[in-house]
Structure 1
Amino acid sequence: MTTSPYTSQSAFDGSRMRVLLLVDLHEGAQQQFLDAYEQMRDRVASIPGHLGDQVCQSVENPSQWVITSEWETAPPYLAWVNSDDHLETVRPLQRCVKELRSMRYGIVRETGVDRPRAGALQSAPREGDGVIRHALTFTVKPGSESKVAEILAGYAPPESRVDAATRLRRTTLFMHGNRVVRTVEVEGDLTAALRHVSRQPEVRAVEEAINPYLEQDRDLTDPESARNFFIRAAMPPVHHVARGGPEPGDLRREALYYPAKQGCGMALARLLARQDEAAAADPASPVHRSTVFQREDIVVRLIDIQGDPETDPVMALGIQGPRKAAVLARLLDGEALGVAGPLTGARDANRLLAHAGMALITDRRAAQS
C-alpha cells in the first residue's frame, strides 16, 4: 500500500519497523531480567515477520537496559504485541521492571548493509500535526451500559497541562452496546500524558466507580493487575490521514465500530485505511480527518466529518464503490452488528451506518487546542 502525502501514520506502507523497549529495572534484578529475556527470545524469534533483536545494558547505569527488535513490517508486530500470547510471554520480564517504555519507528534510511534485507524502507518522511493518538477499549456487564455512560459523562476533566512539553489535547468517549472506546490526543509525550492522567484524583475516582461494572476484573491497587488490564485494553492507531488546508468550522466527531470476522481485523483496517486515503484526496469527500484503531478483530474508525454522516453514508463508512462494499461485507462480522448479508446499495449503507455508529458519551477539549 502506497501512502498519500496526507498520511502522517500508517502500519500499511510495507516498510520495516524498529521497536525500542526502554527498561528501568528494580535494584538487583539484572540477572533475573536477563534470564527472563533468554526464556522469551526463542518464542519471539518464531513469530512471523520478526527479523532479530538485541538486548543492551547501559554502560553508565546498570539498571537501564534497551531491547531492540526489527520487523519486516508493522502488521506482524502489532498482531503479536496485542495478543494474549504476548502478555503471557513477557510476564516474567515485567516482574523485574520498575519502568518500561516502548517506542516504534519506521526505518527510512540505513548504512552498512551488504546484503538484501526482508522488508522495505519507508519511502519518504511523513509530516504530522504534532498530535499523538491512542485509544483504549473494554466491555462492561450487559445491563450496566446506562450507568457506565452516566459515570463516564459526569467526571471533572483532568488538568490538561502535563509539563512544559506535553499537553492532553482532547479526550473523546464512545459506547457501542456494552463496549467502551476512549480516544485521546496528546501533544508531546504520550507515556507522560497517560501517567499524568492516571494520577489525577478525578480520573482515579471514575475508574474506581466503573470497576464493579467491568467484564474483565481488575484491581487498580495491584500494579500487575492494572498493567494487564490496560495492556489488553490498548487499541493502537494503525492509520491516520487528514486533508490539508484550513480546518472547516462545522466538523463533527463520529466513531464507527467494525467488528471483523475472526482473523480479519488487520485486513479490514487496511481496507478502511485505503479508502480514507482516497477520501483525503477527494475535495468532495465530507471526511476531513480519520484515524483507524485496531486490536485483533476490533476495528474502530474515528472521523471528523462535515455535516451529518447520513447525508452520504457511503463516504462516511469508507466503502466507496461496489467492490469495496463487497470486500467489507466479507471481512465484517455482520451478525455481531445485526446487519448480516451483502452491502449492495444506499439502503444497506444507511442500515450499516445506523448499526456501526457509536454513541458519543463525552468530548472534552483542552483550552486553545
Structure 2
Amino acid sequence: MHVQYCVLRNPMFVKLKASNVHSLDVPDEDHIHASASVNMGTEGLTLHLLEALVSHPVLTFALLVAALLSTWWYIRDSYEVDTFSLKQKGAADLASSASPRLKTLILDVTDSESIRRARRFVSKEVGERGLWGLVNNAGRSTPIGPLEWMHLEDFTKVLEVNLMGVIEVTLQFLPLLKKGRGRLVNVSSVLGRLAIIGGGYCPSKWGVEAFSDSLRRDMQQFGVKVSIIEPGFFRTNLTRLGPIEADLRRLWTRLPQEVKDSYGVTYLDEYLKCQDFSMRILASPRIATVTRCMEKAVSARFPRTRYTAGWDAALLWLPLSYCPSFVCDFVLRLLLPPPAAHTL
C-alpha cells in the first residue's frame, strides 16, 4: 500500500503573555493581612508538594512520564492530516488506526483529474492558511531485471508513478505550500544514488533526486523547505519476492531464443536465488525507520536536505556510491550470477 500525506496545519503552540496591570488604589490593612495569609498558605502548599515529590521518587517519575506522554499526545493530535491512498481498503485501515483528525481520499497519481480533485479537497480544508506539508510516497518497483529484457512500456509503467506522478502532484499542490510556507518531502531511494538494478525504478528515483534538488533551490526564497528521504531495502509491497519473481518469469518467457541462449538455460533460476538471498539479508522489517524520517522532515524547525533510512543504505549503498566506478561494478557483480556467454 502506497500513500501520500498532506499535513494541513503545523502543531499549535500557544504562548500566554501576562498583562501588566497598574493600580493607584492603596490597599487597607485588612486587605494586606488577607493577602499575606493567602501567600503564606500558597507557599506552605508548595513546600508540602515539593517534600512529597522528593520523598517519593517513584511517584515523581510516574508524574514526569505522564506529563511527557500527555505532551507527546497533544502534539501528535495537533496535526490535521489528509492521507491519499490508491485503494479503499488501505484508506479504511489508516482511518481506523490513526487519530480522528486524519482524513482519507482515494488518489491515483497517474490520473490528472484524480490529482486535481485531491487538490480541491485539500484547498477547501486549509483555506487561507495554506498547506503545511506534502509527502510524496506513492511508488512501484516492477518490472525490474536486466535491461536487455525490457520493452519501452516497462519503463513508462514505473516512471509514470515514481517520477511523473511526483512531479504532477507537487506542481498541483505547490501554490498551497507557498501560501503556508510549508514542507515538501519526496520519498526517493538510495537507488537514486546508486543504480544496482535494471528497469525503470532507478531512473525514476534519480529523477526524483534531481527534481527535488532543483525545486528546493527555487522554493528557498518563498520559505518552502524541500527534503528527500532515501530508504534502503525494507519489507514492503515493493520488495515482495512473489510478484517480483512472477514478473521476471514473464520477462524471460517473451525473450527471443537467441537472447535466452546468451544467458544460459539456468540463468533465471540462479538470478532468482541470488535475489532471494540478497533480499532476505538486506530487507529490514523496521518500516518505522522511514516514517520517523517523514515525521522529522515535516516537523523539524530546520529539516535536513536528505534523510537516509535503513542500515544497508547508511553502511553499504551510500558509501559505495562515493567509490570509483570500478569498485561499484566489482561489488555489484558479486551479487548476481554471470550469464553463460560472459567474457570476463
TM-score of the aligned structures, taking structure 2 as reference length: 0.24
Q: Which has the higher strand share?
A: 1
TM-score of the aligned structures, taking structure 1 as reference length: 0.23
